[in-house]
Amino acid sequence: MDNNENEANGNGNVENTANEVTNNEKKENTVNEVKQEDQIKNETKTDKKENEGPIKEKKKSNTGLIVTIIILAVILVIALCVGAYFFVINKLKNAVDGNTLNDMVTALQEGENYLAGAESILNDVEGSNLNDVFGGLANAVENSSTVESSSNAKTSSLENPLKVGEWGIASKYNTNTKSDQNVNVRVSNIIRGDEAKKMAQEYMNSDYSIYKYEEPEAYQEWLVVEYDVDFGDTYVPGELGASPNVQGDVTGPDGSSVKYNGVSYINSVIEIGSRDYIKTKTGSGKLLTQIPIGCTDYIIDFGTYNGTHAYFQGQ
């Protein structure tokens, strides 16, 4: 009986020991499985990093350079405008001190050239072209020093006519002195085609015109000559002032009728500028006539019949 109980107890201990060994093996297996899973995860992360490769650098943007160019251009424009302001003010001050109206007009013209240069620079800034910006600045400075003054008026002839923009000397009848007196005159602009046609229609359809508008003759077009006049010190207007209009004509290179393609054209020339008297020494006018289409070989002639004449080459 006792022996059987001991055997039973012995067998029970063996079974318990076997179970403990089995449980320990399961725990070890579980720990190993966890370690293997962690190792697999780490290897997977490493593989991903290796596959991803090095981090790519972002491309640098040119925005900063463009902004810098625009800022520099704007600074240049501001400096140019400020310079033009003080330049004109100084010129006007000197002109007022010397009581010279011609100098005042010249100063204003030089200021306009400065502003025209500034406008050109602003247009270049829109394209962010730094070379054009500096080029525009250089041209503005150069043009400001080449303004043609009426004091530089030149004599001229049919053989040696003046160019558009140059000042010449022509005689104008003075109703105050009842005689011809010289004035300085220049052609500022020549207009042809549709724009000249509109100007002719506007003048001839106005209430104060004695002319009725008609289309140009065959193979001809309207021609408008815009001109400036400076009385200077040689022309003395009356108390009411003087008309700015100067007698003008359009002729051929030899002083006779305009010839083109073997055909002679004789057209009248009329003044369409303002006829109001002015008390200043400078004014402007406009001549209207017709010219053969395509003809550029003609002369614009200012001056009284027996007086001094200023000749300008047509275009």
Residue 201's domain is classified under what CATH number? Answer: 2.60.40
- Does residue 191 register a pLDDT over 70? yes
Enclosing H/E stretch for 124? helix 101-126
Both 120 and 216 in one domain: the answer is no
Element (H, E) at 171: strand 167-174
- Taking residues 42-70, what's their average pLDDT? 55
169 lies in the same domain as 128: no
Alpha-carbon torsion 191, 193, 195, 197, what sign?
Answer: positive
Band (pLDDT 50/70/90 cuts) for residue 297 is: very high
Question: What average pLDDT does range 156-163 have in this prediction?
Answer: 96
User: Are 117 and 169 in the same domain?
Assistant: no
pLDDT band for position 92 (cuts 50, 70, 90): low
Name which of 37-41, 71-75, 84-88 the model is least confident about: 37-41
Same domain, 293 and 265: yes
The residues facing 238 across adjacent strands are 241
Asked if residue 290 has pLDDT above 90, the reply is yes
pLDDT of residue 1: 47
* 30 part of a folded domain: no
Residue 110 has a pLDDT of 57
What distances in angstroms separate CA 303 from CA 77, 202, 217, one per listed residue?
43, 26, 27
- Encoded tokens for 149: 């003054």
Q: Taking 90 as the threshold, does the pLDDT of residue 106 lie above it?
A: no
Chain centroid to CA 171 = 38
Asked whether residue 232 falls in the same domain as residue 258, the answer is yes
**Residue type at position 48:** K
Q: Is the pLDDT of residue 126 over 60?
A: no
Domain count, the chain: 2
Q: Assess if residue 25 is contained within a domain.
A: no
Domain boundary residue, one of 123, 144, 165: 144
Residues 129 and 249 in one domain: no
Contacts by 264-271 with C-beta closer than 8 Å and gap 24+? 265/220, 265/290, 265/291, 265/292, 267/220, 267/291, 270/211, 271/245
Domain that holds residue 279: 150-313
The least confident of 123-127, 211-215, 246-250 is 123-127
Least confident segment among 50-54, 162-166, 279-283: 50-54
**What pLDDT score does 163 carry?**
96
Q: Which is more confident, 85 or 88?
A: 85
Produce one character per residue of 274-293: b if its CB has 16 or more CB atoms within 10 Å, e if not: eeeebeebbbebbbbbbbbe
- The CA distance from 304 to 182, in Å, is 10
* Separation in Å, CA 108 to CA 91, 99, 115, 153, 166: 9, 15, 11, 19, 17
**What pLDDT is stored for residue 51 in this prediction?**
46
Q: Is residue 182 part of a domain?
A: yes
Please check whether residues 136 and 264 belong to one and the same domain. no
pLDDT of 313 strictly over 90: yes
Residues 206 and 284 in one domain: yes
| pLDDT tens digits for range 215-226 | 998 899 999 999
Mean pLDDT for the stretch of residues 251-255: 95
Of 93, 124, 144, the residue that ends a domain is 144
Least confident of 44-53, 156-165, 201-210, 296-305: 44-53
Q: Are residues 175 and 230 in the same domain?
A: yes
The model's confidence at residue 56, banded by pLDDT at 50, 70 and 90, is very low
User: Given a cut of 90, is residue 189 above it in pLDDT?
Assistant: yes
User: Based on the domain organization, do 94 and 193 belong to the same domain?
Assistant: no
